[in-house]
Structure 1
Amino acid sequence: MESKGSWTVADAVDYNGLPADKSKTGGWITAALILGIEVVERLSTMGIAVNLGTGALAVATKLPELRPPTCHHGEACTPATAFQMTFLYIALYLIALGTGGLKSSISGFGSDQFDDKDPKEKAQMAFFFNRFFFIISMGTLMAVTVLVYIQDEVGRSWAYGICTVSMAIAIAVFLSGTKSYRYKKSQGSPVVQIFQIIAASIRKRKTELPQSIVYLYEDTPEGLRIEHTDQFRMLDKAAVVTEGDFEQTLDGIAIPNPWKLSSVTKVEEVKMMVRLLPIWATTIIFWTTYAQMITFSVEQASTMRRNVGNFQIPAGSLTVFFVAAILITLAFYDRVIMPFWKKWKGKPGFSSLQLMAIGLVLSTIGMAAAAIVEQKRLSVAKSSTQKTLPISVFLLVPQFFLVGSGEAFIYTGQLDFFITQSPKGMKTMSTGLFLTTLSLGFFVSSFLVSIVKKVTATSVNGGWLADNINHGRLDLFYWLLVILSGINFVVYVICALWFKPTKSKDSEEMEKGKGFSVEDC
């Protein structure tokens, strides 16, 4: 007969603070509720609205007092008042606040619904990350098609109102599972813990490490301990017991001062976060190439023939191919690759490091395809005097598809990696670290554009990135990104080979699929 402990999750509690019962909490039912609120969040975000901000925007676009009068063609427009602008900015800041709070915690909370020490639930967690991004992409698809159409043809107040109502329903559904979720107890601020260990190790920098790790301080319960590693030995000094490391409580009990002494497990948790940084740094370039798909590629499309019969495709609507590529790739991976890989290799799918590697390769190929298409487009532009060039916009589909497929792989890989390879108490922080790769990728893109414009522009022409792309050399800028992406991939592989996952004391040895080795290639 199975013990009672096998039916509970060691590091999770239920709504009442009791050990979480696997039969009553967590699993796919609660994960589905979390996925539900995420699809609506993406619908709202991509429709330029989310959470409380959608309500404010809906009101601002409907009430005459909160918006300037309609501006008709040929008439002077009445500017918005200070009050109207203030209300608008409040709505936009609410959007940013809501998105930041949701994005940094939703994926971590979703993974908390699965027990990584249970082989069955651990496999389900891998499927969760894949479906998580699929759901996000579904929300994006609805936003760039249905919601954009409503904004343009019906009215913005209707679109924002739909977002508000959808979010309200999603929140109600999400809260309905309150008593069924698994919760992880708060373990204090991870930032404070990191600074405590750094401070303690610096304070003891002249202290020699003991010959055996058994002499290092450890007060973590046996089942929750993390196996000691030999990397970053300097940090181990924070776990060396020295005089003055303990303080007396009012009850006369000696407890360690966290700024002077930390346990081996806490030191290893900080090491885990440090190990994430090389992978974090080498995935930023993907989002730099991604930025080109929603900027320069759309500008390319605006100069090309976009007619399908009597209908002209809006240049911005080509992102539908981008989202479609993501959905097709995720569905193919989920239904074809994962079952095949499990049958052949005995693993539920590619490792997170392999997924990110595939994403980086696809984005590099996508940029090369974009450069080749741009060379063709420029050759047509030189021999044509028409505003709309006699070249089909569908030539851009391969670059959208390749980078879109790359996003499907790298996003799910990053999500899995930064959650499963981070300490349990630092999941939200590591998720935030992952999300910074997106924003930094766009910053790097802006920086590169500025540098290239400054270096290549002359008094005669606008350089590679001229205001009129027909007079520039966007293809050379794309080739530059191909070179940078190729160099970055080599560095990524080196970092991935160096990376070693941390093992818990009571867990089985992590399967080889979770590491990146020559065998995995």
Structure 2
Amino acid sequence: MRAEEDIHINDGTIDFGNKPAVKKETGTWKACPYILGNECCERLAYYGINTNLVNYLRFELNQGNVQAVNNVTNWSGTCYVMPLIGAFLADAYLGRYWTIASFSIIYVIGMTILTMSASVHGLKPLCDKRNVCHPTGLQIAVFFVGLYLIALGTGGIKPCVSSFGADQFDDYDEAEKKKKSSFFNWFYFSINIGALVAASCLVWIQTNVGWGWGFGIPAVAMAIAVVSFFAGSRLYRYQKPGGSPLTRICQVLVASFRKFRIKVPADKSLLYETADTEFAVIGSHKLDHTKQLSFLDKAAVETPSDCVKGSVNAWRLCTVTQVEEFKSIIRLLPIWAIGIVFSAVYSQMGTLFVLQGNTMDLHIDNSFEIPSASLSLFDTISVIFWVPIYDRLIVPLARKFTGHKNGFTQLQRIAIGLVISIFAMLTAGTLELVRLREVKKHNYYELKHIPMSIFWQVPQYFIIGCAEVFTFIGQLEFFYEQAPDAMRSLCSALSLTTAALGNYLSTLLVNIVTDFSTMHGKPGWIPDNLNYGHLHYFFWLLALLSVLNL
């Protein structure tokens, strides 16, 4: 029996043939390259759209600054809300593998429609001699159908890929468990390799060659991502779906309120739990009782009416593990909430940073002009620089002082990133103030590009990249580690909704600021001609919110 345990994984995972996974033949870093390759290509496709989308809306669909910014953040927010659907399907019915596969196909369809909207005659907006485009209602509709199909597709991929990759490491094997923390760092590294190519090559192609090619290449990259993912199928370890986590949460709530008059026994060992050999979800761990949120313990108090025809009514009696799963989700919410303002800061890279860059000198020399959206590659370079530095230098150094195996706790890592993000907004606001002083000093108000190099934006992008390495990766790892086994996809999706709400918060702030600052006929903080605006006030507002958030 012991030899059998050594051969197979101890957490209930299976292989492609639906048999217990063999440790030496599946999982670990053998399987991860296919998963990381999928993520790299998918992120290339996503950032190939997101990085320069504000300029497409601004110039190809002829939208104003505020409308274009809001459309970008609304779409980005939807991309991060949709993971709740993907997570539900993965945990309840399809499993992570088939959820990723299915939604990747939807993603490819969305990319194809988007490419057609920018290249096919009749679907592509026509522009006049002054290069002002006049899209029809049908053309706008086709574009947004493709765009939001991509949002749906990414919703099935985002919450599952990181968890599916982490599933390749056995928590019962100490050697494999140590490798899992590095996986999250290299997972984020692969995301930013895709983002680097998008911000450099794809943005240049979109600006100088055409949007048809600029959207078509990411569409091909997404197709490659699907092929890469399927190629590793026989090497993966699979967790069976364990039923809807939302149903189990609702059962705890209903059972607790049904028994609100019942007193919880002082001896918590009397609370209901399944026999040692039974698991609610295959491969999941049982959870010990905790003292907090004691009202929910009522759901695990046994009463004579809990059984119907010899079987337990799940809407009247829940196990201690089921109750503790719900408590774990509730405990995650404060950490979830602090990510919202950080995500609002992060969303500026694809919107107001790009519009700010549009007003500056885009030339590297007299012959080459860099697209304003390409400056986001310095965020990516920053992440690619800091991930190995963090993994190989900062962690061992911090470990000597803190004694923690990972250098910092996950919460400390998140907090450090929050501090760094404040400086990113202060830097962006200071640059805009300096830019506006140049405008006023030399009367550059009607100039499209003032003679001030766009490369002055590099520090604000680089600082945000550093903040990402601490906060986003720390949050990703924290939600995976703290999540109950049967709810990891749901918790990954929950962590992603901070990005959704951050984007929606940015939309809300832009609308409030616009309404407030344009009173009495004033141009406002974010007019179409930023030379008449006060964009630095908006960046400083985000810096203040970040301080309060910290």
Question: TM-score normalised by the shorter chain: which range applies?
Answer: 0.7 to 0.9
- How far does residue 279 in structure 1 lie from its aligned partner after superposition? 0.6
Q: After superposition, what is the alpha-carbon deviation per residue over 1:432-471, rounded to whole angstroms, capped at 9, x for unaligned?
A: 1111111110111121222223334442533444444333
d(CA) in 1 for partners of 2:188 and 2:131?
Answer: 46
2:327 aligned partner = 271
> TM-score normalized by structure 1?
0.85
Q: Equivalent residue of 2:520, what SS?
A: coil
2:505 aligned partner = 444
> CA 1:395 to 1:154, structure 2 compared with 1: closer, same or farther past 3 Å?
closer
Of 266, 282, 285, the match for 1:211: 266
Of 184, 189, 204, the match for 2:239: 184
- How far does residue 390 in structure 1 lie from its aligned partner after superposition? 4.2
1:140 aligned partner = 195
d(CA) in 2 for partners of 1:298 and 1:258?
Answer: 53
Opposite residue 264 of structure 1, the aligned amino acid is V
Are 2:172 and 1:171 equivalent residues in the alignment?
no
> CA 1:299 to 1:68, structure 2 compared with 1: closer, same or farther past 3 Å?
closer
- How far does residue 62 in structure 1 lie from its aligned partner after superposition? 5.5
Are 2:398 and 1:317 equivalent residues in the alignment?
no
List alignment gaps of at least 5 residues for structure 1: 249-253, 490-521
Opposite residue 343 of structure 2, the aligned amino acid is W
Where does 1:416-431 land on structure 2 (aligned, <5 Å)?
A: 416-431=477-492
> CA 1:97 to 1:125, structure 2 compared with 1: closer, same or farther past 3 Å?
same
1:371 aligned partner = 429
> CA 1:70 to 1:394, structure 2 compared with 1: closer, same or farther past 3 Å?
closer
2:108 aligned partner = 51
Instruction: Give the number of the structure with larger relative contact order, counting CA–CA contacts within 8 Å between residues 6 or more apart.
Output: 2
Where does 1:140-159 land on structure 2 (aligned, <5 Å)?
A: 140-159=195-214
1:301 aligned partner = 357
d(CA) in 1 for partners of 2:308 and 2:539?
Answer: 60
Counterpart contact for 1:15–1:182, Cα < 8 Å: yes
- How far does residue 25 in structure 1 lie from its aligned partner after superposition? 1.4
- How far does residue 240 in structure 1 lie from its aligned partner after superposition? 0.3
Are 2:164 and 1:103 equivalent residues in the alignment?
no
2:170 aligned partner = 115
Higher strand share: 1
Counterpart contact for 2:123–2:142, Cα < 8 Å: no
Of 394, 410, 418, the match for 1:352: 410
Higher helix share: 2
Are 2:379 and 1:331 equivalent residues in the alignment?
no
Q: Equivalent residue of 2:10, what SS?
A: strand
Counterpart contact for 2:525–2:538, Cα < 8 Å: yes
2:92 aligned partner = none
Are 2:312 and 1:241 equivalent residues in the alignment?
no
Of 253, 258, 279, the match for 1:198: 253
- How far does residue 259 in structure 1 lie from its aligned partner after superposition? 0.3
2:4 aligned partner = 4
Counterpart contact for 2:345–2:542, Cα < 8 Å: yes
Opposite residue 232 of structure 1, the aligned amino acid is L
- How far does residue 112 in structure 1 lie from its aligned partner after superposition? 0.9
Opposite residue 411 of structure 2, the aligned amino acid is L
Where does 1:9-28 land on structure 2 (aligned, <5 Å)?
A: 9-28=10-29
Q: Equivalent residue of 1:21, what SS?
A: coil
Are 2:346 and 1:290 equivalent residues in the alignment?
yes
- How far does residue 334 in structure 1 lie from its aligned partner after superposition? 2.3
1:38 aligned partner = 39
Opposite residue 173 of structure 2, the aligned amino acid is D
Stretch of structure 1 that moved more, 36-45 or 169-178? 169-178
Are 2:493 and 1:435 equivalent residues in the alignment?
no
Opposite residue 414 of structure 1, the aligned amino acid is Q
d(CA) in 2 for partners of 1:403 and 1:136?
Answer: 15
> CA 1:14 to 1:69, structure 2 compared with 1: closer, same or farther past 3 Å?
closer
2:548 aligned partner = 487
- How far does residue 3 in structure 1 lie from its aligned partner after superposition? 4.2
Stretch of structure 1 that moved more, 383-392 or 210-219? 383-392
1:492 aligned partner = none
Q: After superposition, what is the alpha-carbon deviation per residue over 1:455-499, rounded to whole angstroms, capped at 9, x for unaligned?
A: 34442533444444333333333222222211111xxxxxxxxxx
> CA 1:299 to 1:154, structure 2 compared with 1: closer, same or farther past 3 Å?
closer
Opposite residue 198 of structure 1, the aligned amino acid is L
> CA 1:475 to 1:88, structure 2 compared with 1: closer, same or farther past 3 Å?
closer
> CA 1:74 to 1:441, structure 2 compared with 1: closer, same or farther past 3 Å?
closer
- How far does residue 110 in structure 1 lie from its aligned partner after superposition? 1.1
Q: After superposition, what is the alpha-carbon deviation per residue over 1:306-351, rounded to whole angstroms, capped at 9, x for unaligned?
A: 4322133332222122222222121321232234345663613433
List alignment gaps of at least 5 residues for structure 2: 51-106, 278-283
2:475 aligned partner = 414
d(CA) in 2 for partners of 1:33 and 1:132?
Answer: 11
- How far does residue 401 in structure 1 lie from its aligned partner after superposition? 1.2
d(CA) in 2 for partners of 1:420 and 1:286?
Answer: 21
Counterpart contact for 2:256–2:296, Cα < 8 Å: yes
Q: After superposition, what is the alpha-carbon deviation per residue over 1:395-421, rounded to whole angstroms, capped at 9, x for unaligned?
A: 322221111211222111111111111
- How far does residue 79 in structure 1 lie from its aligned partner after superposition? 6.0
d(CA) in 2 for partners of 1:11 and 1:431?
Answer: 21
Opposite residue 325 of structure 1, the aligned amino acid is S
Opposite residue 478 of structure 1, the aligned amino acid is F
